[in-house]
Amino acid sequence: MPYNNTPIAPSKEVTGTVSLPLARVKKIISADDDVQNCSNNAAFVITVAAEMFVQYMVERTHDIVRTEKKPRRNIQYKDVANAVARVENLEFLTDVVPKTTTFKTFKEDQAKKAAANANKPRPLSNGQTTIPMIPNHRMPIPINDPADETISIPDDEVDEHADYDDMDLDENYGANRARSHSES
């Protein structure tokens, strides 16, 4: 037996009844932490407003479906997503009703993002990156040195207990080294 697909036209006159279940709307309203109490009249007005919004969205979606090469009688999710993307008044729903994509396209996009991010250093939780270290030393290698030189310290000058965090690697390396030798 085929389904009954005949559309039900919305009533133009005010009847005092709503199509959406009023009890469910009140449950949704009460789920909000900011709302303490909601009267029946307020819930009724919110339900009427929700029905009017759904009616507007469906009408805009149906207008877009009619402009396609093969217009359909039934509205699908992709039609609603297309209407949200095209109609300016519905743009606030782009996060709620995103356009669908195939799995193949999704995987291709993920592979492109992974390839683009492969050469970038991974940021830490607060957005900082790590500095690469010289093997067996506590001195960091300067990453953006204008001369593209790395400073190597001979093994006999490396003090395992020294604090190299205060040492400037660029201009003052020789001065810091001379100061550390004079102090000892």
CA distances from residue 143 to 148, 152, 164, 167 in whole angstroms, order as listed: 8, 14, 17, 16
Is residue 150 predicted with pLDDT exceeding 60? no
- The 10s digit of each residue's pLDDT in 89-147 is 999 998 998 888 888 998 998 898 888 877 666 656 666 666 665 566 555 555 554 55
pTM: 0.52
Domains observed in the chain = 22-100 (1.10.20.10)
Percent residues over pLDDT 90 in the chain: 25
